[in-house]
Amino acid sequence: MATSSRGANKTIGRLLADGTIEEIAARLGPVSPDTSPLPPEVPDTRNWSSEGTARRRSFLEGELGRKIPWLGGEATLEDDAELRGNIEHFIGMTMVPTGIIGPLRINGVGAKGDFYVPLATTEGALVASYHRGASIVSRAGGVTSICLVEGVQRSPSFRFRTFMEVGTFLIWVMGRSAEFQSIVSKISSHARLEDIRSSVDGNQITLVLDYNTGDAAGQNMVTICTDAVCRHIVEHAPVKPVVWYVEGNLSGDKKATAISFTTVRGKKVTAEALIPRPLVERGLHTTPEEMMGYWKTSVLNGIQSGSIGVNGHFANGLTAIFLACGQDAACVAEAAVGTTRFDVIDGDLYVCVTLPNLIVGTVGGGTGLPTQRECLELLGCRGDGTARKFAEICAATILCGEISIVGAIAAGDFAKAHALFGRRRNGARP
């Protein structure tokens, strides 16, 4: 998952704008955990009754300082036309239950503090597992989470008669980045065209346009901008393509691809924590050595399975937070590609996750829908200037899930947890 010098320099510049490297290092990382008192945990975590739900909702409203009428089912849409842009042929809502975990302490660049993270899922045991991980890492001083680089791609393809025409076309295109950026700026106030790469195959060339999309996830944005750029290219290029397509399937959109894994698509985020041995033994019923031993086994078998990246269950947490917070759930196909790493440092457990394809946003798309808006507000991540913060929260949450699942498997508790939380008593359904 190498980063270009351009991307690395941008990241360094953004970090140094927040203080000197010494100041940042002192504030971040497991070497300087935040040991101040934690806020209260989510109450009644094993109470499935309406009374338990009401107490948890009241607790969150107290933490947020206001009501959450949409999540509480007290508010309804006044006009279904409000959903235009999010759905066609609307007939009703699919209800996915939403739970909460936390507090999750994050020592990030954008995300700093204690967070209660909403997760929407129908899988029993998932919320309990992530909550357990959040409790352990928070008592250990928190998770360091940093958004490293950003970029969303579109890859238009152009087919010509001969390779020589491709060469003429490529020479012309590569000298016009500023011209193309001017076109983009007229269409979107968020998108910036930052780089153009190319892939030639005989008489066909695919351009990879790298955009920064600000606080939007940006898939629709970069499609519209790329279409305008391509139409300008076709009109003015010295040679005309036989045919062109606005997306040639090289961008990795909604797919698990090696190219996105080794570069960045969306936001590349890394998160780490150092958990003292006593917390591992008491909270996970295992040891740092046993957890690292299981991780080694999972890496070996992940390689044999042909996995792109190796992790326990990124897709679980990402799908749950995406549904709760109005993200494009289909992007989990690519966002769940990443790595988990365990180590033992001076007897304590070190854990790190890296997500190079985290497609998330805090404006546009589904982020304006009522319950999704409330969930983003609960995290302090609604609107401009909060997308990197949200990405850091996502990565920290994923780390919690990795700690919990690996701990459960290493301790032999994995099936027991699913029997406790993932099954209805006596098979009953309401």
Q: Which residues are catalytic?
A: 123, 254, 328, 418
99 contact partners, CB below 8 Å, separation of at least 6: 118, 119, 120, 121, 127
| Residues 24 and 110 sit within 8 Å (Cβ to Cβ) | no
Burial class of 34 by CB neighbour count within 10 A (0 to 12, 13 to 18, 19+) = middle
What percent helix, strand, coil does the chain show, rounded to 5?
45, 20, 35
CB atoms within 10 A of CB 237: 16
CA 88 from chain center: how many Å?
26
237 contact partners, CB below 8 Å, separation of at least 6: 169, 172, 173
Nearest CA to 333 out of 222, 414, 422, 219 is that of 219
| Residues 111 and 392 sit within 8 Å (Cβ to Cβ) | yes
Nearest CA to 360 out of 174, 168, 152 is that of 152
List phi, psi (to 5°) of 71.
-65, -30
Distances in whole angstroms, Cα of residue 137 to Cα of each of 268, 302, 399, 410 = 21, 26, 9, 18
378 contact partners, CB below 8 Å, separation of at least 6: 60, 64, 68, 116, 118
User: Given the structure tokens 């958004």, which residue do they identify?
Assistant: 147
Residues in the chain, overall count: 430
Nearest CA to 202 out of 234, 254, 160 is that of 160
CA quadruple 68, 325, 404, 428: dihedral positive or negative? positive
Hey, what amino acid is at 419? A
The structure tokens listed for 351 are 């854990």
Distances in whole angstroms, Cα of residue 130 to Cα of each of 91, 127, 182 = 33, 5, 45
The structure tokens listed for 398 are 């994923």
Nearest CA to 267 out of 6, 7, 55, 5 is that of 7
